[in-house]
């Protein structure tokens, strides 16, 4: 932007000479232009500490826990992907992250949020699991077809609006 203000135009000037002039005029040691003999480009070398390249660009992997059937005694079942399932609290249907699938964290959740249900037998949680599965399958049957019909109707309305060459907001 400084070059545009100095020159008064948007034309590109010789990048090598203008960058060298800027570095000399401001007398800064942050950026040093380095000339290459084969091209007219400028290579900028910042004087900043560099990070080791061994860790650069690597994604830190997190530990993915598997669901164990013994977690039912804490009142939890699994949902989602089998590779990295999430925990579902059977008492309030609260979904916890995969990182919470540690027995100590599940026990702490049970003790903290439901102290009266802490000493319940595993048969209590098995009944909760059965009712959870029944309600889930009922909801899937009931609303899956409705959502498909609603989505199809929405697309048909959008298509008719497009055919009539009307504004798309008319369908709102």
**Is residue 25, in this structure, part of any structural domain at all?**
no
88 has which bridge partners?
Answer: 77, 95
The answer to whether residue 58 sits within a structural domain is no
Q: Which of 82, 128, 122 is nearest to 101 (CA)?
A: 82
Residue 4 lies in a domain: no
Number of domains in the chain: 1
Classify residue 131: in a domain, yes or no: yes
Low-confidence winner among 1-10, 30-39, 58-67, 161-170 (lowest mean pLDDT): 30-39
Task: Judge whether 19 lies within some domain.
Answer: no
Whether residue 48 lies inside any domain: the answer is no
Could you tell me if 87 and 67 are in contact, meaning their C-beta atoms sit under 8 angstroms apart?
Answer: yes
Answer whether residue 132 is part of any domain: yes
88/96 Cα distance (integer angstroms): 6
Stated pTM of the model:
0.46
Between CA 172 and CA 166 the distance in angstroms is: 12
The DSSP-derived string for 125-170 is: HHHHHHHHHHHHHHHHHHHHHHHHHHHHHHHHHHHHHHHTT--GGG
Q: For 82-139, how does the pLDDT look when each residue is reduced to its tens digit (9 = 90+)? A: 888 988 999 888 888 888 888 999 999 999 998 888 888 999 999 999 998 888 887 7
Q: Are 3 and 18 in contact (CB under 8 A)?
A: yes
Contact assessment for residue 76 and residue 89, using Cβ atoms and an 8 Å cutoff: yes
Could you tell me if residue 138 is inside a domain?
yes
Output helix, strand, coil percentages for the chain, rounded to the nearest 5.
Answer: 50, 10, 40
pLDDT tens digits, 8-43:
655 555 555 555 555 555 544 444 444 444 445 555
Expressed as residue numbers, the domain containing 128 is: 69-166
């Amino acid at each position: 932007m400084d070059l545009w203000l100095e020159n008064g135009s948007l034309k590109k000037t010789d990048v090598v000479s203008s960058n060298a002039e800027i570095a000399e005029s401001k007398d800064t040691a942050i950026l040093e232009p380095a000339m290459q003999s084969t091209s007219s480009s400028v290579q900028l070398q910042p004087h900043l500490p560099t990070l080791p390249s061994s860790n650069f660009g690597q994604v830190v992997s997190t530990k993915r826990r598997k669901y164990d059937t013994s977690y039912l005694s804490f009142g939890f079942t699994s949902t989602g992907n089998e590779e990295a399932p999430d925990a579902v609290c059977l008492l309030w249907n609260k979904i916890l992250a995969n990182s919470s699938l540690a027995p100590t964290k599940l026990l702490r959740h049970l003790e903290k949020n439901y102290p009266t249900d802490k000493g319940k037998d595993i048969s209590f949680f098995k009944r909760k699991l059965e009712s959870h599965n029944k309600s889930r399958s009922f909801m899937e049957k009931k609303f899956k077809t409705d959502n498909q019909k609603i989505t199809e109707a929405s697309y048909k309305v959008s298509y008719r609006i497009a055919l009539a060459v009307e504004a798309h907001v008319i369908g709102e």
